[in-house]
Amino acid sequence: MSEMQKQKKAPAWVNKPLGQLSKHEWERLCDGCGRCCLHKLADSETGDIYYTSLACQLLDTELCRCTEYSCRRQYVPECLTLTVEDIPNLPWLPLTCAYRLRYENKPLPDWHPLISGCEESVHEAGISVRDYALSETRVPEAEWPEYVIEWLK
């Protein structure tokens, strides 16, 4: 699909500056991959950040959506409410993250639901955590380093 065809398929607001998106548009920009809900570990010497295959206890790992999204901070106080201002300060945001891509003035990929018109496309493309994420509740925190996944960037 050409860039022109993609642009015709996507909602007109997709290319608005992030700071001008309504709350509804901002929320729809999320592709539903669930990667931001994976626990990350930082190397204390280098500061490098590594994803694990362990997801927040609130993530439905089949749907890749938060089960308590509107009140998630009541259960997980450290859960981030992403804003435009946060994006440049979050090097762990996946390279495929729509918020990151739009912040960097890059187009959304073909598999993004706003481009494909299909909510399942993020899963079909193998971008979501659906096939490998485990709930953090299944693994003692001391064992989390064993669940580092080096291929995810």
pLDDT number for residue 4 = 47
Q: What are phi and psi of 121, to 5 degrees?
A: -60, -35
Q: Are 44 and 148 in contact (CB under 8 A)?
A: no
How far is CA 46 from its chain centroid?
24
Q: Are 33 and 123 in contact (CB under 8 A)?
A: no
Domain-wise residue ranges, the chain: 3-147
Average confidence (pLDDT) per 10 residues, the chain, 153 residues: 55 90 95 96 93 97 96 95 96 95 96 96 97 97 96 72
pLDDT number for residue 8 = 53
pLDDT number for residue 101 = 97
pLDDT number for residue 92 = 92
pLDDT number for residue 152 = 72
Alpha-carbon gap, residue 96 to 130, rounded angstroms: 16
